[in-house]
Amino acid sequence: MTTLTLQRASDIVDAALAKARELGFRPLAVTVLDPGGNAIVLKREDHAGILRPGIAHAKAWGCVGMGVGGAAGARHATRDPAFFAALAAISEGRVAASRGGVLIRDADGEVVGAVGVSGDRPENDETCAVFGVQSVGLTADIG
């Protein structure tokens, strides 16, 4: 299994932010978590809203907690809002089932972490997350 080092996590965040600037997205917060849900890197761009770091963390944390990418979590929350309400209560509000949360998998398909992006539309957040993960040669699992 590949270990997600501080340098690799930093490279993911920097690539995601560079993609956002290239595409003209709103200011973002991007975080990378290890498989246990612990933050490795968090960056918040100038003028990103004060809630953005927490939302990015919740997107990534939901991915590692549920073992699925944010797109799958968002579909599940839409299909079964009662389950999502229970999940939010169980996790003490730490889960955000939304696009922009992406599992990070190594070449063997093992989960090595997750990235969460918040600040623009969910599909744009997801675009940046996927780009960041792929830029370091890992696989982005959006669900």
Provide the token pair at 135: 């830029």
Predicted TM-score (pTM) of the model is: 0.93
Q: Give 123-141 pLDDT, tens digit per residue.
A: 999 999 999 999 999 999 9
| Contacts for 27 with CB less than 8 Å, ≥ 6 apart | 44, 45, 46, 47, 48, 49, 52, 119
| Contacts for 91 with CB less than 8 Å, ≥ 6 apart | 61, 62, 65
Q: What is the DSSP letter of 25?
A: P
Task: Find the helix or strand (DSSP H, E) in which 23 lies.
Answer: helix 6-23
- Mean pLDDT across the stretch 17-44? 98
58 pLDDT tier (thresholds 50, 70, 90): very high
Amino acid at 84: F
| Contacts for 28 with CB less than 8 Å, ≥ 6 apart | 16, 17, 20, 44, 45, 48, 52, 56, 117, 118, 119, 120, 125, 128
Q: Give 68-125 pLDDT, tens digit per residue.
A: 998 888 887 888 888 888 888 888 888 888 899 999 999 999 999 999 999 999 999 9
Q: Give 59-76 pLDDT, tens digit per residue.
A: 999 999 999 998 888 887
The CATH architecture annotation of domain 6-141 reads 2-Layer Sandwich (3.30)
Locate the domains of the chain by residue range: 6-141
Distances (CA, A) of 105 to 33, 67, 102, 138: 12, 11, 9, 6
